[in-house]
Amino acid sequence: MSTVKADLSLCQGYANCVVAAGDYFDIDDDGKVVLLKIDVPESERTRVEEAARSCPVSALWVED
């Protein structure tokens, strides 16, 4: 199973990830990403990777 990771120091709260995969990502009151789920099953990997790639500051990624 893969995991989704975030670099909060890079996050600027664009929320593209939330639009693409709101069941995995949210934005807190400080405008930083919140990971709602960390484990990514293979059946969800493509969608979550696309959501991570939608981040304009590359603060998100999926790794094995």
Identify the pLDDT of residue 1. Answer: 93
Identify the pLDDT of residue 55. Answer: 98
Q: Where are the beta strands (DSSP E) in 7-50?
A: 25-27, 33-35, 39-40
Identify the pLDDT of residue 15. Answer: 98
Q: What is the DSSP letter of 51?
A: H
Q: In CATH, which of 3.30.70.20, 3.10.105.10, 3.50.50.60, 3.20.20.60 is domain 2-63?
A: 3.30.70.20
pTM: 0.94
Express each pLDDT in 10-53 by its tens digit.
999 999 999 999 999 999 999 999 999 999 999 999 999 999 99
Identify the pLDDT of residue 57. Answer: 98
Structure tokens at 17: 């990830």
Residue with tokens 């981040």: 55
